[in-house]
């Protein structure tokens, strides 16, 4: 399992992998928004948590198409299907590697991008905390979509269409919790706990569903 984890990290770190592409896309989203909104610093600070979350969500989707596609093309997916380890555990490891390679750099860069949006230290901290809690759910949900479309040559758009209804609650509770940390009437803890519960739910269900979809596609 450790060898698989390291292999997935290396694949994602190559040129054209999801890590660099996602980070550049995230930067593009955050830098373009202020040009559209204008020089109103208060407005930028107000919409900052939502912008950072939407950018991270979209950037996190970029590498999902290759989560199982490359394994299928080089034949290693067949080896994983017949290996000694449960397929759901293999999917879990691949999801964790994808999150570390793709989503974790986005979270690390979020404080810098938050400064671009004129956000306060509390707001930036809340966004980072909610991204840490919520982005794994995006990866686990995306793994199911990637498994369903593994036999398609270009399934990136279809993955986004399939998983969009499932990741909307992650976005809602992530942004709500981030706003709750900077706005006095809005509570932080309830939406944050719901966000954590969503992540735990899909961490348990996502690998199982993805493993089932891969098994069905191999028959």
pLDDT tens digits along 149-205 = 877 766 667 888 889 999 999 999 999 999 988 776 668 899 999 999 999 999 999
For residue 20, is it within any domain? yes
For residue 27, is it within any domain? yes
Domain span at residue 39 reads 2-214
For residue 11, is it within any domain? yes
For residue 18, is it within any domain? yes
For residue 219, is it within any domain? no
Q: What is the pLDDT of residue 138?
A: 94
3-state helix, strand, coil in the chain (%, to 5): 85, 0, 15
- For the chain, the domain total comes to 1
CA distances (Å), 119 to each of 113, 180, 185, in order?
9, 14, 18
For residue 72, is it within any domain? yes
Per-residue pLDDT of 3-16, as tens digits, reads 778 877 777 766 45
Contact between 179 and 112 under an 8 Å Cβ cutoff? The reply is: no
Contact between 40 and 126 under an 8 Å Cβ cutoff? The reply is: no
Contact between 94 and 8 under an 8 Å Cβ cutoff? The reply is: yes
Q: Output 156-161 pairs: Cβ under 8 A, ≥24 positions apart.
A: 156/64, 156/65, 159/61, 159/64, 159/65, 160/61
């Amino acid at each position: 399992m450790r060898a698989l984890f390291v292999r997935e990290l290396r694949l994602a770190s190559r040129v054209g992998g999801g890590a660099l592409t996602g980070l550049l896309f995230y930067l593009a989203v955050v830098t373009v928004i202020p040009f559209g909104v204008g020089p109103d610093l208060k407005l930028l600070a107000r919409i900052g948590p939502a912008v950072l979350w939407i950018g991270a969500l979209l950037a996190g989707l970029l590498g999902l198409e290759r989560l199982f596609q490359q394994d299928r093309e080089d034949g290693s997916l067949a080896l994983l299907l017949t290996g000694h380890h449960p397929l759901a555990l293999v999917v879990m490891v691949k999801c964790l590697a994808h999150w570390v390679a793709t989503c974790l750099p986005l979270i690390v860069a979020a404080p810098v991008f938050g400064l671009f949006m004129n956000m306060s230290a509390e707001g930036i901290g809340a966004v980072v905390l909610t991204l840490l809690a919520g982005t794994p759910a995006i990866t686990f949900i995306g793994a199911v979509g990637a498994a369903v479309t593994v036999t398609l040559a270009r399934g990136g758009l279809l993955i986004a269409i399939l998983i969009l209804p499932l990741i909307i609650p992650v976005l809602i509770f992530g942004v709500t919790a981030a706003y709750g940390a900077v706005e006095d009437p809005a509570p932080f803890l309830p939406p944050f706990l719901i966000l954590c519960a969503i992540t735990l739910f899909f961490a348990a269900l996502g690998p199982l569903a993805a493993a089932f979809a891969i098994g069905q596609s191999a028959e």
